[in-house]
Chain A
Amino acid sequence: MSGPTPAADAMASPEPPGPVSLRVANGPLAAPVLARVVSMILARAACPLDRLDDALILCDAISAYAPSHSRDAHLSFMLATDARAIELRVGELRDGGASALIEDALLPEIGNVIERFSDSRRIEPARDGGGEELVLTFGFGR
C-alpha cells in the first residue's frame, strides 16, 4: 500500500476531531461520558491544564443539573472546537429548561458555575423540534 496510513495521518496533523455529537440517557452515564469526551477533545486541542479543569467543572455542573430540565429521558450534546475554543450545545431541554439549568448551577460561596466558567451563553430553539438548546462557548487559547 502506498501513502500514509490513517494512523500516520493522525500523528502527523493533529486536528480538531470535527463536530462530535453525543446523546446519553439521563442518569449515571451522562457525567462520566461527557467529561471523557470533552477531555479528549480539549487535550487534542492542546488546551492548558487549568482550563481543562475548568471545563470539567462546567461539564459536571451541566451533567448534574440538566437532567431535571430535559424534555425526555435523554440529553444531547454537540461539541465543535477550533484552536482556541469549544462550543458545547446542550440539547433536548424543555421550554425554559436552558435558563433553569443556568439558575440551578448557583453554588454558595462560588457563584454560578456555568456563568463563571463559560465565556458566552445563549439559548436557541431546538433544531429538532420542541424545547430549546443552551449554547456555551469555552475559550482556552493562550
Chain B
Amino acid sequence: MTPDMELSLPARAENIALVRHAFGALGETLAIDEQLLFDLRLAITEACANVVVHAYADQPPGRLDVLATLLDDELTVVVRDEGSGIGPHPDSPGLGLGLPLIASLAESVQLGRDEQERTEVRMTFSLSDASDHHGGQDDGNLAHAGSSVDERQTDPTMPT
C-alpha cells in the first residue's frame, strides 16, 4: 500500500527534529489525540535516533526514511535505513531502553528488513482507542503496557 506520507533525509541527529515536526503536522491534520501524538512522536524519535547512532556507525550518514500509512484508524509508521542492520551494540552510548520504550508506546512493533534488504522498524498505532492507549495515562507509567517487540531478526541486546 502506498504511504500517505514519506520523508527521506540524511540520517543526522538534527534531522530528527524535522521528522518530529512533520508528524506534528500529521497529528494535527488527523486530529490525533494529544497524548497519543506525544507517544507516537516519542516512539518515532527513538527509532530515528537508533538509525542516526547505529545504522551508519562506521560510514558517512546514509538515508533515513520515515513512512506513514493510515488505514482504518490504524497508523503504521516505518522507520527505515540502509545501514548495517539491527544487532547488539555493546558500546552503545544509550541506556538500552529505546526499543522497549517503542514497544510500550506502540500497538505493535516489528523489526526486520524489507524486500530491498533495508532495515526497518514498523510500528502501528491505533487512533480509534486513544483513551486506552498504552494504559499508562492514569498513573503516568509508560512502561507497563503496550506491545512486545516482534523480533524478526534481532538480538536481545539491541541498541537503543
Contact = CB atoms under 8 A, between A and B. Distances in A.
Interface of A: 1, 5-7, 9-10, 14-15, 17-25, 28-29, 32-33, 35-37, 39-41, 44, 73-74
Contact of B12 (A1, A18, A39): A18
A17 B15 contact: yes
Contact of A10 (B3, B7, B12, B21): B12
B5 A37 contact: no
Given A1-B93, A33-B22, 11 more contacts: A6-B52, A7-B13, A20-B18, A21-B7, A22-B8, A22-B22, A23-B6, A33-B5, A35-B25, A37-B7, A74-B2
Contacts of A10: 12-14
B34 interface: no
Interface size of B as a range: 20 to 34
A14 B14 contact: yes
A28 B29 contact: yes
A72 B142 CA distance: 41
28 contacts: A1-B91, A1-B93, A5-B13, A10-B12, A17-B9, A17-B12, A17-B14, A18-B9, A18-B12, A18-B15, A19-B9, A20-B7, A21-B8, A22-B8, A23-B3, A23-B5, A24-B5, A24-B6, A25-B2, A29-B4, A29-B29, A32-B28, A33-B25, A33-B29, A35-B25, A37-B7, A39-B21, A40-B17
Contact of A40 (B6, B18, B93): B18
B15 A21 contact: no
Contacts of B8: 20-22
Contacts of B2: 25, 73-74
B15 A22 contact: no
Contacts of B158: none
A14 B91 CA distance: 27
Given A5-B93, A10-B14, A20-B18, A32 B25 contact: yes
